[in-house]
């Protein structure tokens, strides 16, 4: 036999030499939930995840950072009485997110703090944009009015010290508008990580449970993408690049590896992918039932995301991966 590919698999040393993709804690952004309470409360819809107090958030982010995770992204659970139809709380300079940013940056100056820019946690309608009810009773999500509020939200996060703002709303033109709004007041150094190809996905269910942020009526299909579409992701990435995004994202990740690969081919920007709450939960629940091995399954799922072309991975397993990496050293 001329070729025996198994020779390259014969020992751990050789397998390591020929391994094409290396996963590392340095690849990760760790998503964390924060609420007003001073208790840290386990999230029923996402076993293993917590709604942190600001103190708890600072501690958890610090532990992950000490293990080698460079960045966190924070998601607020906002009480119903602070929500309204125009999501005004999202740009309150003393709101939960700005306070969390300040606490994180002062405790961990080298930690990269990323914020989510979208209205859903603050919107009494639960949508990422401002809702108008049309005469026929249908809901309309107002694009340009929403973008104006997103700009105020991003400025509020930049003012509090965010390193990167990350629009997850899928309104048209928001990257250019955010870039313009940030630059106009001297925040040229604040980066934009755009949720470029964000699909209308059933896999977000547990996250909406974690934040009580599910839409009160209707769905998100007039702004998030149809999961049947690939070319549309390429179109979105070309537009985001043109509008000034620093990094682009595909979301969800596991069922969208073809999209990650396609986006990778069509941009020179760093590509991020988000292993979302439903993906986390599918693995976690099978592990908790004793059906799958946690470490093996998590590392395989994340390596596949990186192999498909992602430079950066958002995952609820980020800290766990960093712990495994330390144990291996």
- Cα distances from 260 to residues 55, 86, 211, 249, 312, in angstroms, run 35, 33, 27, 8, 11
Please, what is the end-to-end C-alpha distance for the chain in angstroms? 38
Tell me the helix, strand and coil percentages in the chain, rounded to 5.
45, 20, 35
Stretch that binds ligand PBG, among 6-14, 20-28, 179-187, 202-210 (CB under 6 A): 202-210
- Three-state secondary structure call for residue 308: coil
3-state secondary structure 56-95: HHHHHHHHHHHCCCCEEEEEEECCHHHCECCCHHHHCCCC
Stretch that binds ligand PBG, among 13-21, 172-180, 201-209, 301-309 (CB under 6 A): 201-209
Phi and psi (nearest 5°) for 173?
A: 80, 10
The pattern of x and - marking residues 55 through 94 that bind ligand PBG according to CB under 6 A reads ----------------------------------------
Considering the complex, state which of residue 68 and residue 126 has its C-beta at the smaller distance from ligand PBG.
126
Stretch that binds ligand PBG, among 59-67, 114-122, 264-272, 300-308 (CB under 6 A): 114-122
Residue 198 annotated to the active site? yes
Candidates 251, 262, 284, 306; catalytic one: 251
**In whole angstroms, how close is the CB of 153 to ligand PBG at the nearest point?**
11
Phi and psi (nearest 5°) for 83?
A: -95, 145
Q: Which residue is nearest to ligand PBG (CB)?
A: 207
Residue 277 interacts with ligand PBG (CB under 6 A): yes or no:
yes
Nearest alpha-carbon partner for 76 in 143, 160, 142: 160
Candidates 82, 83, 105, 198; catalytic one: 198
Would you tell me which residues interact with ligand PBG (CB under 6 A)?
116, 118, 120, 128, 168-169, 204, 207-208, 220, 276-277
Q: List active site positions.
A: 198, 251
């Amino acid at each position: 036999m001329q070729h025996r590919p198994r020779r390259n698999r014969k020992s751990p040393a050789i397998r390591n030499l020929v391994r094409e993709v290396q996963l590392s804690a340095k690849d990760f952004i760790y998503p964390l939930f924060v609420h007003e309470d001073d208790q840290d409360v386990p999230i029923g819809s996402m076993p293993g995840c917590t709604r942190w107090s600001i103190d708890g958030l600072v501690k958890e982010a610090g532990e992950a950072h000490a293990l080698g995770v460079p960045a966190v992204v924070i998601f607020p659970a906002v009480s119903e009485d602070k929500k309204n139809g125009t999501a005004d709380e999202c740009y309150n300079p003393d709101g939960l997110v700005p306070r969390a940013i300040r606490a994180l940056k002062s405790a961990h100056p080298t930690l990269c703090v990323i914020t989510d820019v979208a209205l859903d946690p603050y919107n009494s309608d639960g949508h990422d944009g401002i809702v108008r009810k049309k005469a026929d009773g249908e809901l309309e999500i107002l694009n340009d009015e929403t973008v104006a509020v997103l700009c105020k939200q991003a400025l509020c996060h930049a003012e509090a010290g965010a390193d990167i703002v990350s629009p997850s709303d899928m309104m048209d033109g928001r990257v250019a508008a955010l870039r313009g709004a940030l630059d106009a007041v001297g925040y040229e150094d604040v980066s934009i990580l755009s949720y470029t190809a964000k699909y209308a996905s059933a896999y977000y269910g547990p996250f909406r449970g974690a934040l009580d942020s599910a839409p009160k009526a209707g769905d998100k299909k007039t702004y998030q993408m149809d999961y049947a579409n690939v070319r549309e992701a390429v179109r979105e990435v070309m537009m985001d690049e043109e509008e000034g995004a620093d990094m682009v994202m595909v979301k969800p990740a596991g069922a969208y590896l073809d999209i990650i690969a396609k986006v990778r081919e069509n941009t020179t920007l760093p590509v991020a992918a988000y292993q979302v709450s439903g993906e986390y939960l599918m693995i976690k629940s099978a592990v908790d039932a004793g059906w799958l091995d946690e470490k093996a399954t998590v590392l395989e799922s994340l390596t596949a995301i990186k192999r498909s072309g992602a430079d950066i991975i958002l995952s609820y397993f980020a800290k766990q991966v960093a712990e495994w990496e330390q144990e291996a050293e």
